[in-house]
Amino acid sequence: MYKFLLCWRYLLSRYIALASVISVMLGVATMIVVNAVMLGFTTEMQDRIHGILSDVIFESRSIDGFPDAEWHMEKIMQVAGDKIEGLTPTVVVPAMMSFQTGLNGEVASRPIELVGIDELTQSKVSQVAAYLQHAENRRQISFDLRESGYDILSQGDPDKAILRNDLRHAGWVYRRTSVAEVEKLRRQIREEEERLREQHAALQAAPPTEAGTGDGVTDGITDGVTDAATGAADPGNSPENPSENPFAVAPSKTDAENVFDPAKEQHTGAIIGIALSQYFRGDVTDPATGESRIGDSLALIPGDDITLTIPMTEIPPKLRHDRFTVVDLYESKMMEYDSRLVFVPIQKLQDLRGMVDPRTGRRMVTQILIKAKPGVNLNELRDVLQVNFPSHTYNVKTWADVQETLLAAVFMEVSILNVLLFLIIAVAG
């Protein structure tokens, strides 16, 4: 007890010493808090990156990939099967996504990284399914459009969740409604065209008037309709004269049977990063509570169609495009991935790129994602695989190798903060 009293009397008589003790206490507390915050941030970031990339990535150095994924997976299991829990083939290729936006149908394009995945085995090696916006897709990835039921609030703390009113009616409900609105607009256009034709026919049946006495506006409309009618009746534009119209398609008896009905059918499904579909993020009104909160305005939701343009496996590479239907949105809360990744069925991507051997039917892939068993040293697994496969053809790396620069920057930031806090404590002492 007397020691405490002596210290207290000493500190009261020497305010500088008391201030130094308090400064050291605050400095140590600050270091503990800052280290805890940075450690939490680093752990969360590593978990998200790790969940997206899987433990080990076995990839081709060529964008064309390597053939016979089944043989390669068998070879990998022979080399390190005791350390591996799961495998799945993927195809990764740079591509371009295009879609219509705005009231006038302007086309917007985004550079993306297109990933072909096997929906049955992808969840065994990564956590892609956990970042989807439909509960059924989080249980099992599917490229079929759901009727409805997409999350209108982002995952996480409900009080801080992002509101997305656009997803309230996403799915087949939205797709059927959109098709009905488009058909209504087309019907109005056809009715207006029919009205103009009747007006033109009435003007043609009327007795001729003297030159220069007609209404300029009526004459302009009449001329326009006449030109359109003449163009439609021009035999040079008919299927019987294809040399004059190279883009004309001859009618087929089976056309009615092959017509794509967007109200009942979908294109091949695609899962897009949520940042690719965002217009903006700002304050919106929650219709359920009437309160203002942070929300997203989305340009693309499940049920919309997009066009993907990809390079084929030819030299020089040619481009090929196809239509896809958005079936879900992907949100990992890592902007690098949410603004770049689009997932499609691996078989569809292989067919589009020509990654199927026509003689044997064997398919090519660019990557094999590997899930290691708990407790396995990933660096050792990487080195074992790299030794058994030629390095000039294959590249093996861990998830940490892929994001080595980012992780090194974070660790450097933590180290610098520790040095600065130590200097603060030293000065206070």
DSSP letter at 146 equals P
Asked if the structure places residue 162 within a domain, the reply is yes
Mean pLDDT confidence for 316-332: 92
Higher-confidence residue: 210 or 57?
57
Asked if the structure places residue 154 within a domain, the reply is yes
Mean pLDDT confidence for 226-251: 43
- Highest-confidence range of 138-142, 226-230, 316-320, 418-422, by mean pLDDT? 138-142
Mean pLDDT confidence for 136-151: 94
Tally of structural domains, the chain = 2
Please list the alpha-helical segments (H only) found in 54-97: 69-80
Instruction: Indicate if 24 and 78 belong to the same structural domain.
Output: no
Instruction: Indicate if 371 and 275 belong to the same structural domain.
Output: yes
Asked if the structure places residue 117 within a domain, the reply is yes
Asked if the structure places residue 419 within a domain, the reply is yes
**Burial state string for 32-45 with b = 16 or more CB within 10 A and e = fewer than 16:** eeeeeebeeeeeeb
Domain boundary at 333, 356, 375, which?
375
Instruction: Indicate if 419 and 362 belong to the same structural domain.
Output: no
Mean pLDDT confidence for 180-203: 85
Q: Indicate if the pLDDT at residue 131 is higher than 50.
A: yes
Rounded Cα gap, residues 425 and 429, in angstroms:
6
Tell me, what's the pLDDT at 289?
76
Asked if the structure places residue 179 within a domain, the reply is no
Q: Indicate if the pLDDT at residue 128 is higher than 80.
A: yes
pLDDT band at 2 (very low <50, low <70, confident <90, very high): low
Tell me, what's the pLDDT at 137?
94
Instruction: Indicate if 325 and 305 belong to the same structural domain.
Output: yes
Instruction: Indicate if 282 and 419 belong to the same structural domain.
Output: no
DSSP letter at 163 equals B
Higher-confidence residue: 230 or 143?
143
Rounded Cα gap, residues 184 and 355, in angstroms:
42
Asked if the structure places residue 26 within a domain, the reply is yes
Cis status, amide bond into 316, omega within 30 of 0: yes
Q: Indicate if the pLDDT at residue 243 is higher than 50.
A: no
pLDDT band at 185 (very low <50, low <70, confident <90, very high): confident
What size, in residues, is the chain? 429
Tell me, what's the pLDDT at 311?
92
Instruction: Indicate if 421 and 363 belong to the same structural domain.
Output: no
Query: Which contacts qualify for 197-203: CB closer than 8 Å, 24 or more apart?
Result: 197/225, 197/229, 199/225, 200/225, 200/226, 200/229
pLDDT band at 103 (very low <50, low <70, confident <90, very high): low
pLDDT band at 11 (very low <50, low <70, confident <90, very high): low
Mean pLDDT confidence for 48-75: 89
Instruction: Indicate if 169 and 32 belong to the same structural domain.
Output: no
Tell me, what's the pLDDT at 397?
94
Asked if the structure places residue 254 within a domain, the reply is no
Instruction: Indicate if 320 and 418 belong to the same structural domain.
Output: no
User: Tokens representing 244?
Assistant: 């004059």
User: Tokens representing 100?
Assistant: 């219509």
Percent of the chain whose pLDDT exceeds 90:
40
Which residues contact residue 96 at a Cβ distance below 8 angstroms, ignoring those fewer than 6 apart?
109, 110, 111, 112, 308, 309, 310
Asked if the structure places residue 400 within a domain, the reply is no
Instruction: Indicate if 160 and 281 belong to the same structural domain.
Output: yes
Mean pLDDT confidence for 78-93: 93
Domain boundary at 332, 359, 375, which?
375
Instruction: Indicate if 150 and 275 belong to the same structural domain.
Output: yes
Phi, psi of 401 (to 5 degrees): -65, -35
Q: Indicate if the pLDDT at residue 244 is higher than 60.
A: no
Please calculate the CA angle 426-427-429 and round it to the nearest 5 degrees: 65
- Look at strands 268-273 and 319-330 and give their pairing: parallel
| 248-280 confidence digits (pLDDT tens) | 444 444 555 578 888 899 999 999 999 999 888
| 357-386 confidence digits (pLDDT tens) | 888 888 999 999 999 999 999 999 999 999
Note down the domain range covering 146. 58-174+265-375
Rounded Cα gap, residues 170 and 177, in angstroms:
10
Instruction: Indicate if 41 and 79 belong to the same structural domain.
Output: no
DSSP letter at 392 equals T
Q: Indicate if the pLDDT at residue 211 is higher than 70.
A: no
Q: Position of tokens 């044997």?
A: 360
Helix (H) or strand (E) holding 46: helix 15-53
Higher-confidence residue: 42 or 426?
42
Instruction: Indicate if 25 and 141 belong to the same structural domain.
Output: no
Residue 273 · residue 342 · CB < 8 Å: yes
Which residues contact residue 328 at a Cβ distance below 8 angstroms, ignoring those fewer than 6 apart?
132, 133, 134, 137, 146, 150, 271, 302
pLDDT band at 10 (very low <50, low <70, confident <90, very high): low
pTM: 0.77
